[in-house]
Amino acid sequence: MNISNCLLLHCNINNPQSFEWLPIINKFHDSETQTNDLLEIAHQHQSNDIVIISPGTDTTTTSISLPTTRHSQLQTAIPFALEEQLASDLQQLHFVFHPEGKTKFFSVAITAKKQLHDWLEEFNKAKLKPIKIIPEYLALPIKEDEWTVVITDNYGLVRTNLNTGYAIEQNHLFTLLSQQYAQVSETKKPQEIYVINLSQKDIILPLDLSFPKEIIRLEKRNCSICHIFRQGLVNSPTDINLLPHEFHFGSGLKKINKFWLLAGSLTLLWLSVFIVGNSISYFYLQHEQQQLQQQITVLYQQLFPESTNVVAPELRIQQEIQKIQQQQSDQGFLTLLEKTGNILKASSKLQLEHLSYQNNTLHLTIAVPDIQSWKILQNTIKDKGLKVGQVNIKPSSNNILVTFIVSDEAR
């Protein structure tokens, strides 16, 4: 799809009624970004096709592996495969997917269906013709073996490949970036992380990053973010397009045969009676959903009091749980090592050959002069409230090698 003659529209997150815009065509390369409402933009550019850059916080992207590649089956399989990861009802969500090469992996984008349709109705009223809707982070420029990061005064955007990325609060950006780098396989780790700073502040990198700071290429720019988006749309366009296929703009109403018009009117009358009868249930469920969303927001703010927006709650909570589990595992290792180490240190007749830790258990190999020395050591370990198991005794030329495990009975 050729977008060189299109108009780029970026929704202002602080004022949804206004849009930043500029032409994508090359001869306007140095043009300044302008801000207007839809009616004013339509007055000036009604004949132009539109590429909408939607707020990154409104869309989630992920990657999923499925055994089928048939499009009709994927339309049903992908929502249900992701159901447990999503906080909203599947019927309220709009899914877009694209295959990742010739593999059985698919890039998936998810956004709220109602908000998307409300948006498109406003464009239809203004008689503007969107041909693509792209979340902010998928409009960033990117190269092979590179991640791109854009930092604004309000939030951060990250693009990790052609079809996946995310938006996140600025103060959590490098924490999540570091965790993601640590989790991806070596073949998918970027050779460079290109950071574009559009904010008023200098970027200070945390000390505990999982990636070497040498791979970061930091660039300070004094331009509109729309210029960054234009560069990405032209040089590294995404396959993801959130625009629903069923939307046709400016088409108007089709001519309808009078007979079918009458039949349709009777059907609408019957539906109206049916809807009135079920309206109480609908509004009750809507009220329950609003209360549930409020409870999620309150819980999120209790867990993350420094956050100003609810961003990817399931991902954030999962990361906190993993962090706590890791801390508990580290504490168990140190406690077990201290108890066992003090016992081993008190005996001058043994020599430690091997020590490792796995699943809350110490694995040890020691050399003792005789069986009696081992029995004394074993009883001493048990007297300290520790459990000894999987004992393997192997005689050698000058001593006896004993391999065993030690665990804390209290854990």
Q: What is the mean pLDDT of residues 343-350?
A: 80
Comparing 134 with 90, which gets the higher pLDDT?
134
Q: What is the largest CA-CA distance in the chain?
A: 106
Residue 76 φ then ψ, to 5°: -90, -40
- Record the tokens describing residue 40, joined without a space: 């004013």
Q: Where are the alpha helices (DSSP H) in 156-198?
A: 173-183
CATH classification at residue 375: 3.30.1360.100
**pLDDT band for position 254 (cuts 50, 70, 90):** very low
- The fraction of the chain above a pLDDT of 90, given in percent, is 23
Same domain, 116 and 145: yes
pLDDT score at 346 = 81
- Record the tokens describing residue 22, joined without a space: 């500029």
**354-395 pLDDT tens trace:** 888 887 888 889 888 888 888 888 898 888 888 888 788 888
- 179 in a structural domain: yes
Same domain, 43 and 125: yes
pLDDT score at 350 = 83
Q: How far apart are the first and last CA of the chain?
A: 60
For residue 195, how many other CB atoms are within 10 A of its CB? 22
Expressed as residue numbers, the domain containing 132 is 7-235
Q: What is the mean pLDDT of residues 53-76?
A: 84
Which segment of 24-28, 227-231, 362-366 scores lowest on mean pLDDT?
24-28
Same domain, 290 and 261: yes
User: What are the Cα distances from residue 275, in Å, to 51, 271, 272, 279?
Assistant: 37, 6, 5, 6
Length of the chain: 411
pLDDT for 156 beyond 50: yes
pLDDT score at 270 = 74
- 240 in a structural domain: no
Burial class (CB in 10 A: 0-12, 13-18, 19+), 148: buried
Same domain, 200 and 57: yes
**78-132 pLDDT tens trace:** 888 887 777 778 888 999 988 887 778 889 999 998 888 888 888 888 888 899 9
Say what angle helices 113-125 and 38-45 make with each other, to 10 degrees. Answer: 50
- 192 in a structural domain: yes
pLDDT for 73 beyond 60: yes
**pLDDT band for position 317 (cuts 50, 70, 90):** low
**167-216 pLDDT tens trace:** 999 888 998 999 999 998 888 899 999 999 999 988 888 888 888 889 99
Same domain, 72 and 211: yes
Q: Are 389 and 405 in contact (CB under 8 A)?
A: yes
Q: Which one-letter amino acid corresponds to residue 210?
A: S
Cα separation, 64 vs 195, whole angstroms: 27
Same domain, 342 and 387: yes
β-bridge mates for residue 48, sequence order: none
Cα separation, 164 vs 199, whole angstroms: 23
β-bridge mates for residue 288, sequence order: none
β-bridge mates for residue 185, sequence order: none
- The three-state secondary structure class of 289 is helix
Comparing 300 with 266, which gets the higher pLDDT?
266
Q: What is the mean pLDDT of residues 17-32?
A: 73
116-120, 228-232, 286-290: which is most confident? 228-232
pLDDT score at 246 = 65
- 241 in a structural domain: no
Q: What is the mean pLDDT of residues 298-319?
A: 67
Please state the domain count of the chain.
3
Cα separation, 155 vs 149, whole angstroms: 11
Q: What is the pTM of this model?
A: 0.60
pLDDT score at 279 = 64
- 249 in a structural domain: no
User: What are the Cα distances from residue 292, in Å, to 87, 307, 334?
Assistant: 10, 19, 41
User: Residue with structure tokens 């938006």?
Assistant: 167
